[in-house]
């Protein structure tokens, strides 16, 4: 049985659906493909209001991507304290923050050359 390759667009769509499913806030996509020496093609960044919501977002993304695309993250980091959880899907890295941690680290500012797309949630 061979595993079908998941396209990056499908993966991004599944991740966004997972975030929206549990009302993740301020969803932003950073397109890093035009920047030299990046570790992936895209960052998807969002935040939750508490460690409970951060964990819910991470769980929802995993469930959505697993169910719809039969894919799972290569690595997850930071789930223990749920202030900043990184989900590595190789070409796409998801950063789920608590709001104050996101503001402190300002990933969008660090990657200022990236093309930024903000996702408007319907809730």
In a domain, 33, yes or no: yes
Number of domains in the chain: 1
Q: What is the mean pLDDT of the chain?
A: 94
In a domain, 20, yes or no: yes
Q: Is the pLDDT of residue 3 over 60?
A: no
In a domain, 62, yes or no: yes
In a domain, 105, yes or no: yes
Q: Which strand (E) or helix (H) includes residue 49?
A: none
Q: Is the pLDDT of residue 108 over 80?
A: yes
In a domain, 52, yes or no: yes
- Rounded-to-10 torsion of CA 113, 32, 98, 70: 170
Range of the structural domain that residue 50 is part of: 8-112
CATH of the domain at 23: 3.30.460.10
In a domain, 1, yes or no: no
| pLDDT tens string 30-75 | 999 999 999 999 999 999 999 999 999 999 999 999 999 999 999 9
In a domain, 3, yes or no: no
In a domain, 123, yes or no: no
Q: Are 64 and 19 in contact (CB under 8 A)?
A: no
């Amino acid at each position: 049985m061979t595993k079908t390759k998941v396209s990056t667009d499908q993966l991004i769509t599944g991740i966004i659906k997972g975030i929206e499913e549990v009302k993740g806030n301020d969803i932003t996509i950073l397109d890093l493909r035009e920047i030299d020496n990046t570790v992936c093609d895209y960052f998807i960044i969002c935040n939750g209001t508490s460690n409970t919501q951060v964990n819910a977002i991470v769980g929802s993304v995993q469930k959505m991507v697993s169910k719809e695309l039969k894919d799972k993250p290569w690595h997850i980091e930071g789930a223990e304290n749920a202030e900043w959880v990184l989900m590595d899907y190789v070409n796409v890295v998801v950063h789920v923050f608590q709001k104050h941690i996101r503001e402190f680290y300002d990933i969008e500012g660090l990657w200022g050359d990236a093309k930024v797309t903000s996702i408007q949630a319907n809730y």
